[in-house]
Every structure is written in structure tokens, then in C-alpha cells.
């Protein structure tokens, strides 16, 4: 959304998945801290990584979601597909409110998960209000 606001000419449209352009406080700190305990230089088994995650992440579905981001970097070495170091360093800025000097006037689709609480009723009204300008 921020990229769309800054560089609208570079996009033909925008799809936003389960987030609104409002402030979100950091709420995944515990997960990040747990991920940081995984030593990927010595990670040679998905089961071993899951055991590390199990220590602090109770929900199996959350662990499995995170495990989808593991890949075989080398024959006997797993690694994360995402840049954990940068995410950890920049997590405070991830949830900043997105403001626009001009509305994004190209086709935009907001997708909200049925059981998600990332887009509230008030967010929906604000999204619609901004899109009807």
C-alpha cells in the first residue's frame, strides 16, 4: 500500500491481503524471538527446527505456517525463505499507519480472511470512504 501511494505510475492495480492502512502495534515479538533462537547454520532437520519452535509456540497451526518458510539451502542445511534479520530490525516500522498525499486511483481489491481480525468494521468503512473519492 505504501509503495502504491509513493509510486502509483508503476502499478496497474493493487491487491491488499488482510491488512488495513492503519497503525498496527507490534504483536509478533514472541514469535520473532523464537525464530531467532533457531540456528540455521546447524539446522539439518525439519523436526529439529519444529522442536525448537515448540518450546515457545504452542499452536501447531502457527508452527506449521512458519515451517512452510523453511527450505533446503544446501543438501544438509535448512534456512528461512524470509530475511529474519531485517524483519527483526524493522518490525517497529512494519505496522505504521500508511498515509497518502493523493488517493490511489487504480483498481484495488482488499481481501479479508473470514476469521481474521486484521481488518475491523471501522477499517472497512474507512477503506470504502477513501475509495469513493
Sorted by sequence, the CB contacts under 8 Å of residue 45 that are 6+ apart come out as 78
User: Can you give the pLDDT at residue 46?
Assistant: 92
Say whether pTM exceeds 0.95: no
pLDDT tens, residue by residue, 90-121:
988 887 888 777 778 899 999 998 888 889 88
Which stretches within the chain are classed as H helix? 2-6, 29-36, 46-54, 60-67, 84-94, 121-131
CA separation for the pair 106, 11 (Å, rounded): 8
Q: At what angle do helices 60-67 and 46-54 cross, to 10 degrees?
A: 140
CA separation for the pair 102, 23 (Å, rounded): 19
For residue 53, what is the DSSP state?
Answer: H
pLDDT tens, residue by residue, 6-32:
899 999 999 999 988 888 888 889 999
Amino acid at each position: 500500500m505504501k509503495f502504491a501511494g509513493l509510486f502509483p505510475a508503476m502499478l496497474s492495480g493493487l491487491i491488499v491481503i488482510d491488512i488495513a492502512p492503519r497503525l498496527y502495534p507490534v504483536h509478533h515479538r514472541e514469535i520473532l524471538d523464537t525464530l531467532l533462537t533457531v540456528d540455521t547454520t546447524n539446522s539439518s532437520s525439519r523436526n529439529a527446527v519444529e522442536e525448537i519452535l515448540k518450546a515457545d509456540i504452542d499452536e501447531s497451526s502457527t508452527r506449521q505456517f512458519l515451517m512452510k518458510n523453511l527450505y533446503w539451502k544446501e543438501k544438509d542445511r535448512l534456512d528461512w525463505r524470509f530475511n529474519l534479520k531485517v524483519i527483526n530490525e524493522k518490525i517497529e516500522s512494519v505496522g505504521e499507519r500508511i498515509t497518502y498525499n493523493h488517493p490511489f486511483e487504480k483498481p484495488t481489491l482488499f481481501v479479508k480472511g473470514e476469521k481474521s481480525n486484521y481488518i475491523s468494521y471501522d477499517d472497512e468503512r474507512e477503506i470504502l470512504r477513501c475509495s469513493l473519492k
